[in-house]
Amino acid sequence: MKTRSVNSSAREGVAQGVVKKFNPLTYFYLSQVCVLTCDTLKKDWSRIIDILRDIRNHVDTYVEKNPVTKSKHIVLFAARDNANEDEKKELILSGLDSVINYELGNIGKDNRICHLTEGNVAGCIHEILTELVQFHAANNISALWEFGNPQLSRIASRIKSQQQAELLTMLQLFLPGTNSIYYGDEIGMVDLPITKSVPVQRGAMQWDDSVNAGFSSAESSVIPVHPNFTNNNWARQYGSQRSHLKTFQRMARLRKADETLIFGGIIIGQLINSSFTVIRYPNNENALTGNIYLGAFNFGKGDTILPIRESNIMKNKELHQAMIIASSSNAEQYYYRQLIDLSNGTVTVAPQQGVIYKIIF
């Protein structure tokens, strides 16, 4: 496949399109940046980098000239599969604000990335996240997290567990940076049974239990519907007190409202029996003014006791209580704003469950 290189007029057109189309949202996704040069089989990344730099300059120029957008910054981001750290940094230096962390799309139970002996994806996700968090912190690069997209098998199918898929949803929304969510992952949709009409991960959105899952009023939808749509759909989960969707909504509201989760730092604890903690803390000069959150995630088959004084953030603080602000739908032993005693410096997490605590000192 061939595509023409991006000349100056085309670059200007891209810049104008970005500004005109995305003013309200102030972001633009540069999909398939690898085809910005003539030969898509032999990717000339030095040339692609030059083109991205020109696009950034053109966008910034148009933003500066436009009184509506003059005070804004339009975010440019892209994907480059299999990019190493130096290649990611090169893309950022070219003018992109972020590069999608494709590594999370590699997570899957018993695949070539997550070892057969683990029995779940805990070790895999822990290792990948630890490395990515260190990379973003060391280079002051904003993260963009993506577990699913139109080219990948759905999360719940890849890891062979809807409960663990919900834990990954919680974890993703607990991380610093920006999130990209593939439709249906907020309710734990799974791949279609084998079909020739569309890729298995691109089935119709399961809105409700009506004909064609509420996706289409046609007698027969062109886009296939998963046969389990009557049991797993948006309306059913929205009407339930506890569900994957309700967990997603609570986490999304929390990260939108709290500066610690928007701008704060992150510490990932050690992996213990397929479980680990994640601490989010204020990342400013006066850290006493913000909240500290603790996330505990157990992908294993038994209760796990996790230490919470591993980091310097927690070592010198006198722990008393924590408030439950979110939990996975299967954690029925907890309720919102429940107080938990932390005076012994540990938390116990039940199997296949995730809990988010707000620390009270």
In this structure, is residue 1 part of a structural domain? no
Question: Following DSSP, what letter does each residue of 117-159 receive, concatenated?
Answer: GGSSSHHHHHHHHHHHHHHHHHHT---EEES--TTS--HHHHT
- CATH number for the domain spanning 50: value is 3.20.20.80
Q: Collapsing DSSP states into helix, strand and coil, what is residue 75?
A: strand
Q: In whole angstroms, give the CA distance from residue 215 to residue 315.
A: 51
- Segment 73-84 shows an average pLDDT of 88
Question: Pick the residue with more confidence: 340 or 14?
Answer: 340
Query: Could you tell me if 165 and 28 lie in one domain?
Result: yes
Last residue of a domain, one of 255, 287, 308: 255
Residue 172 above 90 pLDDT?
A: yes
Predicted confidence (pLDDT) per residue in 27-42, tens digit: 566 666 766 665 556 6
Q: In whole angstroms, give the CA distance from residue 264 to residue 260.
A: 4
Residue 23 above 70 pLDDT?
A: no
Residue 3 above 50 pLDDT?
A: no
The mean-pLDDT minimum among 11-20, 134-143, 210-219 falls in 11-20
Measured in residues, the chain has a length of 361
Return the bridge partners of 275, or none: 272, 298
Query: Could you tell me if 38 and 159 lie in one domain?
Result: yes
Q: In whole angstroms, give the CA distance from residue 37 to residue 2.
A: 9
Q: How high does pLDDT run on average in the chain?
A: 87
Query: Could you tell me if 250 and 162 lie in one domain?
Result: yes
Residue 274 is predicted with a pLDDT of 95
Query: Could you tell me if 289 and 199 lie in one domain?
Result: no
pLDDT-above-90 percentage for the chain: 64
User: For the whole model, what pTM was predicted?
Assistant: 0.88
10 Å CB burial of residue 314 (0-12, 13-18, 19+) is: buried
Last residue of a domain, one of 208, 230, 255: 255
Q: In whole angstroms, give the CA distance from residue 150 to residue 320.
A: 45
For residue 79, give Cα distances in angstroms to 91, 103, 149, 167.
10, 11, 11, 24
Predicted confidence (pLDDT) per residue in 195-234, tens digit: 788 999 999 999 999 999 999 999 888 999 999 999 999 9
